[in-house]
Structure 1
């Protein structure tokens, strides 16, 4: 995300992935990656402050992490304290992120 490597980021995401932003807007995989590629969303840094595994089975997981994210989102640069909840699923031997919800903390 910070490196702008949408190929690598895209490989981590399920085809039906979406990001639920703290504003409530849901953005699918293609649109989010396009925003990063075209500069609508520029991520400068992300510093993890805390991560918890909330649920873990052999083929699913829920992670909650708190991060300080320095980003320019559509011309508004700020450092946000975000709590991200990631829902993951394992297919064969590869984990994919199904969706992420973001909220301030």
Structure 2
């Protein structure tokens, strides 16, 4: 496990959260593979393009996030994953705003030498 790979994927996790709060869907599109999905707390499997559209149109509004931990970093060849825990204040599909203790299992794939998010699964902790 190379330190530079660990730094890269933890940095992407943080940049994704920052971009959600900033409503920066262009940045999110750079960090996340276009064919990935986000599995929500409810179990709903959402294509990333739909999630980005909901951020743009305010159906999902992220106000803030506070990192609690990054754990279980796994790197094997061109695949990696981590579990990020944070407190996220958001309004999701009209509910809230509320603060959730959100855990994201974020999976990554190295594409042309660059790490990209390839899958996200949300739960609470």
TM-score band w.r.t. shorter chain: over 0.9
User: Cα RMSD over matched residues?
Assistant: 1.0
**Aligned with 1:51 (options 70, 87, 99):** 70
> Match of 1:83?
103
Residue 39 (structure 1) aligned with residue 47 (structure 2): no
> Match of 2:116?
96
Provide, for residues 47-84 of structure 1, a one-character-per-residue CA deviation record: whole Å limited to 9, x for no partner. Answer: 11000243112311111011100000122111000110
- C-alpha distance in 2 between matches for 1:54 and 1:96: 15
Unpaired stretches in structure 1, ≥5 consecutive residues: none
Q: Is the 8 A contact 1:67 1:82 kept in 2?
A: yes
Q: What is the number of residues matched between the two proteins?
A: 105
Unpaired stretches in structure 2, ≥5 consecutive residues: 1-19
Provide, for residues 16-73 of structure 1, a one-character-per-residue CA deviation record: whole Å limited to 9, x for no partner. Answer: 1110000000111110000000000000011110002431123111110111000001
Q: How high is the TM-score relative to the length of structure 1?
A: 0.95
Residue 26 (structure 1) aligned with residue 45 (structure 2): yes
**Aligned with 1:15 (options 20, 34, 50):** 34
Higher helix proportion (structure 1 or 2) = 2
- The DSSP-based 3-state class of the residue aligned with 1:15 is coil
Q: Is the 8 A contact 1:52 1:65 kept in 2?
A: yes
